[in-house]
Amino acid sequence: MRIPESLAPLVEAGTIEEVLRPLMSGKEAAVFLVRSEGELRVAKVYKDAHHRSFRQRSQYSEGRTVRNSRQRRAMAKGSRYGKALLEQAWQNAEVDALYRLHHAGVRVPTPYEFTDDVLVMELITGLDGEPAPRLFDIVPTRTEALSIHKHLVRQVVRMLCAGMVHGDLSEYNILMAAEGPVIIDLPQATDAAHNRNSERILLRDVRHLGQYLGRFAPALRRTKYGPEMWHMYKEGTLHPDSELTGKFSRKGPRVDTNSVIEEIQAAAAEAAKTPVSGYRAKKERQLAEVQAAEEARAAQGVKRKGKGEGKGEGASEGGGGKQRRRRRRRRPRGGESR
């Protein structure tokens, strides 16, 4: 086939001997089947950073340090140069994660070469020797679904013990190799200890596995492997071979409310016995004086209001009587009119 422009430098350098065919293409990268060092491998070509969004990446990139202050400012502004730096960091994160997890015993593709935005790594094959299908592309039986889920949970534990969380673990990022599931696509892999979002991301990954494979083995939907392994990780008791039950409850021991109340009352009594400092006594005295003055003014206002209401009523009654007497005087006498 025609050699893609992005792979031409590696072909000229002899890193890739032959480009056979494209395997798949997504938003992040395009993958090609190539021959390198006499064996079949894959070449992952990352797409142009300027045509993609970086909005969703912040939750994964938290905790990744950038020492150069100029580069850090450019990345924060989102300039063209900054986006290029973000893309480079995104690619480097996947390469670093592959090496780190491969060393920790997690089943991921073996990386061989990374240069010029191209990552050359192991070709994962299925039972027929062809490139392995995704988990999404197969229909497992109930027994197979349980086995796949058990294997993947163990891989997630190994990742967490290595201090990493995948971040996008789904049926699309798992290849079904001849020897079992293989986890791929790790640019969003995050540091479990330094990212505040790591717990939520891990729980989402594990929950998604249970929900998808629960279509074939419904009992998996009720498991709680995520909270269980995260709790053990925080407690420092999680190991690559730790036994998990899939059951977890956040309920702690019952609180003895009577004892708590007694403690509060004892503390209050103890505080009452403590001598009051001169400054505090002065402030309390001033506050009491202010409160007493406010109460006196309020009481005086009520008293004046009561007196004013009494005078008003008497004046209205007296005025009414005089008017009636005046009207009687103006009224002519009957004898005079006749």
Does the active-site annotation cover 185?
yes
Residue of 141, 203, 205, 144 lying closest to 173 (CA atoms): 205
Catalytic residue among 128, 168, 191, 256: 168
Residue 218 lies in a domain: yes
Residue 242 lies in a domain: no
Residue 87 lies in a domain: yes
Does the active-site annotation cover 241?
no
Residue 322 lies in a domain: no
Residue 301 lies in a domain: no
Would you say 165 and 189 are in contact if contact means Cβ atoms under 8 Å apart? Answer: yes
Residue 223 lies in a domain: yes
Residue 117 lies in a domain: yes
* CB-based contacts of 58-61 (< 8 A; 24+ apart in sequence): 59/190, 59/195, 59/197, 59/201, 60/167, 60/188, 60/189, 60/190, 60/195, 60/197, 60/201, 61/86, 61/89, 61/90, 61/93, 61/190
Residue of 227, 157, 240, 220 lying closest to 199 (CA atoms): 227
Tell me the pTM: 0.66
> Tens place of pLDDT for every residue, the chain, 338 residues?
889 999 999 999 999 999 999 999 887 889 999 999 999 999 999 886 554 544 454 444 444 454 555 545 554 555 565 555 556 666 688 889 999 999 999 999 999 999 888 999 999 999 999 999 999 999 999 999 999 999 999 999 999 999 999 999 999 999 999 999 999 999 889 999 989 999 999 999 999 999 999 999 999 999 999 999 999 999 999 999 999 999 988 765 555 566 667 667 666 666 666 565 666 677 777 778 888 888 888 877 766 666 555 554 444 444 555 555 555 555 555 544 44
Residue 9 lies in a domain: no
Describe the chain by its helix, strand, coil percentages, rounded to 5: 55, 15, 35
For the chain, what is the domain count? 1
Cα 61 from Cα 74, distance rounded (Å): 15
Cα 20 from Cα 1, distance rounded (Å): 6
Full domain range(s) for residue 144:
18-235
Q: Which CATH number fits the domain that encloses residue 107? A: 1.10.510.10
Catalytic residue among 117, 185, 191, 241: 185
pLDDT value for 316: 45
- What separation in angstroms does the CA of 229 have from each of 102, 136, 150, 166, 240? 21, 25, 13, 14, 11
pLDDT value for 332: 53
